[in-house]
Amino acid sequence: MIEETRQLYDCQQCIFRILSSNYMPAGDFEILRRASVQLRFEKGETILKQGAKSHHLIFLHKGIVKFSYQYSTGKNYIMTIVSGPKLLGAANLFFKETNIFSLVAMESCEICLIDNKAMRTLALKHSDFILAMCERTMEMFQASIFNFISMAHNQVHGRLADILLYLWNDVYHKNPDEFIVTRKELAEFAACSHENVITTLSKFNKEGIITLEGKKIRINDPEKLNEISKKG
């Protein structure tokens, strides 16, 4: 269940506020703060729904989320997975009236919904600010682009090697206690079958490249995964 509160975290210590202060005075940031609301989403809850009207940007203060796209056949694909703190959704700010993807919490997440209208108002006044924020939000799509390249040119083991390295280094920051991804999520990320994921992970585990402990994954040999990735 969504929990709404204005006490999840201190706005004065928020990274988004600290970054914004480089481009605008405190009074202007107060406009954003008043047009924002703090929320907590639990694992599995949808933060933004694909196809719904786009009214907000998201500042992910804490937690991990996946960008999920449902194709016309009903099949789901994970475009990318990111961890906070991170600003999300700037692609919708000027170009789309509806959400391109669904944004789903993969663990308990603390977020701030930032009103699009307030953001546009300040964008007109502080062009450097909006350019800097858009640049930061575009960084996450690099992983999505590289994933599509991997899917186009690599076999399943190469795709999974790429994904495991990305998640280990950039999302879970080499913490095996937090690296918990379901086989279904890996299959949706790698655009392959659940069975292929199980077979490939079991092979990596048997060879000592990774260690599987239930849903937890530990990367033991990143160099070997890099080698598998390059060979495709």
Query: What pTM value is reported for the model?
Result: 0.85
Backbone angles phi, psi at 104, to 5 degrees: -125, 135
Report residue 146 CA to chain centroid gap.
14
Q: Which residue has the tokens 């790429």?
A: 162
One-character DSSP codes across 112-150:
EEEEHHHHHHHHHH-HHHHHHHHHHHHHHHHHHHHHHHH
Nearest to 217 by CA among 184, 185, 189, 179: 179
Domains delineated in the chain? 3-140 (2.60.120.10), 154-231 (1.10.10.10)
What pLDDT is stored for residue 197 in this prediction? Answer: 95
Mean pLDDT by 10 residues, the chain (232 residues): 54 80 88 88 94 86 93 88 84 68 93 87 84 72 66 81 92 88 93 94 96 91 92 74
What pLDDT is stored for residue 21 in this prediction? Answer: 85
CA gap 124, 159 in Å, rounded: 42
What pLDDT is stored for residue 129 in this prediction? Answer: 84
What pLDDT is stored for residue 2 in this prediction? Answer: 47
